[in-house]
Amino acid sequence: MKPLAWLRRRPSRIGLRLFAFNLLVLFVPVAGILYLDVYESRLLETQERGMIQQARMLAASIDDGEVVADRAMATLSRLDDTEIRASVSTTRPVR
C-alpha cells in the first residue's frame, strides 16, 4: 500500500456522523458559556430599568415640587409589608 493512501479513501458514513456528533458535543457547551455573558448583561439592564421606574414612581408619589414629610412617611409606612427598602433624603429642611 502506498503511503498516504488512506487519505484518498472516502470516510465511511458512520465515521462522518460520529465526527459531526462529536463536534456538536464540543461546541454546544462552548456556545452556551459564551451566551451567558449576553444573558447576564441583558438581565442587569432590565433590572436597572425596573429599579429606576420604581424609584420614579416612589418619588412621584412623595414629591409635589417640595418634600412633604407626612406624605413621605405615609408612603414609606405602606412599604413596610413588602421587601422594598427605601429612604428619603433631601437637601432642604423638612417641615
Structural domain tally of the chain? 1
Rounded Cα distance between 54 and 68, Å, is 19
Q: Residue 51 has what pLDDT?
A: 86
| Residue-wise burial string across 61-88, b where 16 or more C-beta atoms lie within 10 A, e elsewhere | ebeeeebeeeebeebbeeeeeeeeeeeb
Length of the chain: 95
Q: Residue 93 has what pLDDT?
A: 60
Q: Tell me the average pLDDT across 1-13.
A: 68
Residue 88 lies in a domain: no
Residue 94 lies in a domain: no
Model pLDDT for residues 44-78, shown as the tens digit of each residue: 999 999 888 877 777 776 666 555 666 666 766 77
CA neighbor of 73 nearest in space, from 62, 84, 64:
62
Residue 73 lies in a domain: yes
Predicted structure pTM score: 0.47
